[in-house]
Amino acid sequence: MTAPANTPPGTRRERGTPRGALPNHVPIVLIVVANFICSLLATTTLLFPRHSIEGIAGASRLAFVACLGSASASIGIVFGDSISHALAFGIAMLFVATDDGVMSALVAASPPLILVALSSVRGPTRRIINSLDRDGGIIPLLLGPIAIRSLCIVPIAMAMHMFIVVSNHHHTRDAGSSSGVGLLVHGATTPGIITLCIATTLVMSAYYNNRSHKNGNLLTGEMISQAIFAGISMCMSIYIALSGVESSPGSSSRGTARAVVVIAFLLGSLLITLFCHVLAAVSDVWYAVGSGQFHMVSLDTVGMILYFVCPALLLLSRFLSMHAEDVSSMLAMLSGGYCKYVGCILPASTSLHSANHYYGEDALPFSLAMMLAISSVIGVPLLNALCPMGGYLYSRAYTHGRPNTMKIALCVNFCDLPKDEAARKDVWESLSRRIKKTGDRTIAAVLNVFVTSEDMARYPDELRVIADRGHKVELAPVESSSDDGAFLFRPSLFRGKDAVRDLRIAQREYARLFGKGWAGPSWMLSRSASSIGRHPSVLREANDLGMKVAYWSTLVRLSKDRLTSELRSAINEDCSNKNGGSIIYVVLGKGVSSNSASGSFCELIDVFDGRCSLESLSDVAMDYAEMVLKR
């Protein structure tokens, strides 16, 4: 009988997710592949069937501008910054609107580029662009259910109405496909575009209404303000680009060709936004903890799309090709009934010969373009508010920790802690009252304090006292010091190297402050002015320096006197819903000083359930569980 082989001793392994972030070259490869696929789908949508659009715009140009559209949206999503999105959008429009010359392209691209220029100049314009929503009150209006349903559904309804009216006009008059707009009407081009917009709106609405973190908006007040101005400027750019579409016979084809190119650009942007929303929504449903679990869930989601959604779309396209005449006749009958019914109520809305330009045939491409633009303008900041896509790609990022642990991470900036000694003593006493022993479990009261390099240089003794009390001191990035005192601010898109340098300086300052006996910083807060804390270079450098990246699941804005009932209910709901794992980030409200908010901060500490333990981020945000593998 053969002797059993020597069995190695059990070794500890981590199950659930890979431990490290994606390799350096993988994120950019994934982004390029996603953009290529989305631009290919956008081109295919416009060219199905081939004779519908091919006569007025070449396939190669449509693919190029669709790639530009998906790339501009990708920059806004990965950088998490609406100013970067507006800059990429404006540069892309320089290539999109070139059919009437360079001057026409410059005029069309001017609104977002002017916004970027104004936001880069130190002065009142920059303050207005960054301070429209300092207290976070506009986010429910901009990205809430009302905005998603109204701002998206109204353009979709208008586009559907114009498509039905124009298609009925062509069917009843046997216009064929000779005119520019007729090429948009015949075939599956316009129905496909409208269907994609409806699907995007449904996904965004479902994601927002059923998100795991009801009070975890990841956009700061200045980022929300920038998103508002960026959205307006991009819609203005599309309007200017389409303003050359005239109804005269000599310019109809050229105007429709420009509209088709703009639609291809916006369709590429919409598809990449829809794809990212699907990945984020599925990950949110599964409550993925950290980048590793997000990668695993996203990989499964892509597999499901390839195995189920793609075959279904192929079968649908085959069905439409085989039964095109039957489907066309049925749609013609329905559109005729619709026009007859609506014409009795609003006669002007079904007339293509009205004196109003927007009731003419050219209203169809304009409606399609604005429908796509508004969906993308809302979709990108909504995704940035709910899911840190750039953080998941370039670092080990966490918006929450493990559920069902009764462990909560309470985070605050050092500058928001009370400066008065008596007020700060009240905070320490409130934390001390929570420490107790329950059976074999200790209820801790640890505070996670984020500091900048400036804080470490100015308040070294205070920070050492905080660390000696058992609280955790971690890093928070700041705006690049190279812009201090400068008249012009560079957009965060171009400040990655300086931000990386400042992060390295902060880590060295941390090591000098606490000495060799202390481990280096374990976490970096992904929040700072101009969203430089979300720059891919900064996220990658934090990962290379051994730091994880912290976002938050609950954002708490403190007032002067006491916690409001809304804040109390929000905190209790978030903490009890998942039984732990919450990352609560505390900031000061508008016009509130750190000393005046000490009372509300103490109330916040007492709000938590007695079973909840306030722990360090490293104890709360863990995406794996250890196990022993025996062979």
Do residue 443 and residue 362 come from a single domain? no
Question: Is the same domain home to 273 and 388?
Answer: yes
Domain identity same for 74 and 162: yes
Choose one of 344, 373, 394: the last residue of a domain: 394
Model confidence band, residue 542 (pLDDT cutoffs 50, 70, 90): very high
* pLDDT tens column, 78-114: 998 888 899 999 999 998 877 777 888 898 899 999 9
* Judgement on whether residues 383 and 424 belong to the same structural domain of the protein: no
| Contacts (Cβ under 8 Å, ≥6 apart) of 564 | none
Residue 314: the pLDDT is 84
Are residues 282 and 424 part of one domain?
A: no
Condensed to tens digits (0 to 9), the pLDDT of residues 242-256 reads: 875 544 444 455 667
Mean pLDDT of 556-574: 80
Considering the domain architecture, whether residues 574 and 428 belong to the same structural domain is answered as yes
Phi/psi at 474 (nearest 5 deg)?
-125, 175
Kindly report the CATH number assigned to the domain that includes residue 433. 3.20.20.370
Residue 14 lies in a domain: no
* pLDDT above 90 coverage of the chain, percent: 29
> What local confidence, expressed as pLDDT, does residue 341 receive?
66
Mean pLDDT of 124-150: 60
- CA neighbor of 507 nearest in space, from 437, 440, 456: 456
More confident residue, 166 or 457: 457
- Note the pLDDT tens digit of each residue in 60-70: 888 899 999 99
Task: State the total domains in the chain.
Answer: 2
Residues 65 and 125 in one domain: yes
Coil, strand, or helix at residue 132?
Answer: coil
| Number of Cα atoms under 13 Å in the Cβ half of residue 590 | 10
In a domain, 311, yes or no: yes
Chosen domain end from 394, 415, 448: 394
128 and 273 inside one domain:
yes
DSSP letters for 198-262: HHHHHHHHHHHHT-S-TT-----HHHHHHHHHHHHHHHHHHHHHHTT---STTTHHHHHHHHHHH
Q: List, for residues 585-596, the tens digit of each pLDDT value.
A: 998 877 778 777
The residue range of the domain holding 538 is 397-629
Domain assignment present for residue 297? The answer is: yes
Let me know whether 464 and 382 are in one domain. Answer: no
Do 551 and 425 fall into the same domain?
Answer: yes
pLDDT given at position 357: 43
Model confidence over 160-194: pLDDT tens digits?
A: 777 777 766 665 555 444 445 555 555 567 888 88
pLDDT class of 331 with cuts at 50, 70, 90: confident
Average pLDDT over residues 450-474: 91
What local confidence, expressed as pLDDT, does residue 448 receive? 94
- Whether 7 is in a domain gets the answer no
- Domain-located, residue 236: yes
Do residues 325 and 406 share a domain?
no
> Average pLDDT, whole number, for the chain?
79
pLDDT of residue 463: 92
Same-domain check for residues 414 and 498: yes
369, 394, 419 - which closes a domain: 394
Q: Tokens 């973190």 label which residue?
A: 213
Would 158 be classed as within a structural domain?
yes
Asked if residue 3 belongs to a domain, the reply is no
